[in-house]
Amino acid sequence: MNEFELIRRHFARRGPQREDVPLGIGDDAALLAPPAGQALATTVDTLLGGVHFSPDIPPADLGHKALAVNLSDLAAMGAEPAWATLSISLPEADGAWLAAFADGFFALAGRFGVQLVGGDTTRGPLAVTVQLQGFVPADAALRRGGARPGDHVFVTGSLGDAGAGLAIEQGRLAFTGPAADFLLARLHRPTPRVEAGLALRGLASAAIDVSDGLGQDLGHILAASGVGAELEIAALPLSDELLASGIAQPWRLAAAAGDDYELCFTAPADAAPGVADALDCPVTRIGRIVGEPGLRWLDAQGRTVAPPPRGWDHFARDER
Ligand code: ADP
Ligand code: MG
């Protein structure tokens, strides 16, 4: 089967067909009709086999994740997702692999009304690039630079799960059963916080998605806003499954491991009490913004604790 037949079979005319797409897959370019009065939010992410995912990841998980990481970026802008393009490089034209990949991709696309409007298919090392576009009024977008001293710092969901899942997948953490499956699913099938991002318009002063680890990602907000933060390690939201894994010092994983795709955001003190009611997912206050630059981690007694080293999950084997 040639490249064109593969595209037609697995990707053309699948998933949501939106009214703002005059022309989708099949011509030299797609034609898109952005809504008047909104900015186009656009983001792109590449996942490389052996770098961002294990080459034997189930293809349906990869299809999900390739879109999920981009949905997460739009969520962190408060944007409503709409159109995706997909570039796949494959060592060989494997119909079964593509079918499963497409199933994972379109299941998630359908949940968020995203139409696949084009892409590219080439032979080469396994790599997947998704570009995603969506809409947000420019003055309502959640930027990184809006955090102010006195703001509260929040995070959705739980942190550290995907880091523990990676340790399990790589054989560095011996843990099996339903809780281990949950942690692995958090790594392979992250839940982008799209609705939460939309609900945070007009409420959050700054936002980012946690892809590289809380400390690093919040650091981007702090740098862009010219402020610092104090975080309470006892407040970090840890899942029951992460605690059940028996991993030592789980807060360090929550603070430094990546791939959770939760949202970290700040909100002014007077807006903070309304945050939990505004969101459809768990949300936890983990600290506050201060004027002095830098990120400080505090223990339950308010003492400064050494920051977890970046990539702390490498310690998982030693400390278990
Ligand atoms: P061209 O050579 O003109 O760039 P292609 O043969 O690459 O065209 O693509 C033909 C059509 O199929 C285009 O509409 C393109 O966007 C779409 N397409 C190609 N690969 C993919 C893919 N992996 N996913 C979705 N659409 C794709
Ligand atoms: Mg062409």
pLDDT at position 94, please? Answer: 87
Query: pLDDT at position 311, please?
Result: 53
Q: Is 67 in the pocket of ligand 1 (CB under 6 A)?
A: no
pLDDT at 314: 41
3 or 98: which carries more pLDDT confidence? 98
| C-beta 88 within 6 A of ligand 1 | yes
From the CA of 119, how far away is ligand 2's center (Å)?
A: 11
Mean pLDDT of the chain: 93
* Residue 310: pLDDT over 50: yes
Q: How far is CA 104 from CA 48, 111, 221, in A?
A: 17, 11, 32
Q: Is the shortest distance between the CB of 26 and ligand 1 below 6 Å? A: yes
pLDDT band at 313 (very low <50, low <70, confident <90, very high): very low
Question: In the chain, which ranges are E strands?
Answer: 39-48, 80-90, 115-123, 127-136, 152-156, 206-210, 228-232, 262-267, 283-290, 294-298, 304-305
Tens digit of each residue's pLDDT (9 = 90 or more) over 137-174: 999 999 999 999 999 999 999 999 999 999 999 999 99
Task: Provide the pairing of β-strand 115-123 with 80-90.
Answer: parallel
Which atom belonging to ligand 1 lies closest to the Cα atom of 120? Answer: 20
Determine the residue of 13, 25, 88, 130 to mutate for testing ligand 1's pocket, defined as the one with the most ligand atoms within 8 A of the Cβ atom. Answer: 25
Q: Which ligand has the nearest atom to the CA of 129?
A: 1
Beta strands across the sheet bearing 206-210:
206-210, 262-267, 152-156, 283-290, 228-232, 294-298, 304-305
Q: What does the DSSP 8-state code read for residue 8?
A: H
pLDDT at 320 over 60: no
Averaged pLDDT, 256-268 = 96
Pick from 172, 157, 161, 178: which is nearest to 250 by CA? 161
Position 17 pLDDT exceeds 80: yes
CA of 87 relative to ligand 2 center, distance in Å? 14
Whether 5 lines ligand 1, by a CB cut-off of 6 Å, is no
> Which ligand is closest in space to the CA of residue 130?
1
pLDDT in tens, 181-214: 999 999 999 999 999 999 999 999 999 999 999 9
**Is ligand 1 within 6 A of the CB of residue 279?**
no
Ligand 1 centroid – CA 83 distance (Å): 15
How many Å lie between the centroid of ligand 2 and the Cα of residue 32?
Answer: 17
At 69-86, the pLDDT tens digits run 999 999 999 999 999 999
The CA 117 to ligand 2 mean position distance, Å, reads 14
Q: pLDDT at residue 135 above 50?
A: yes
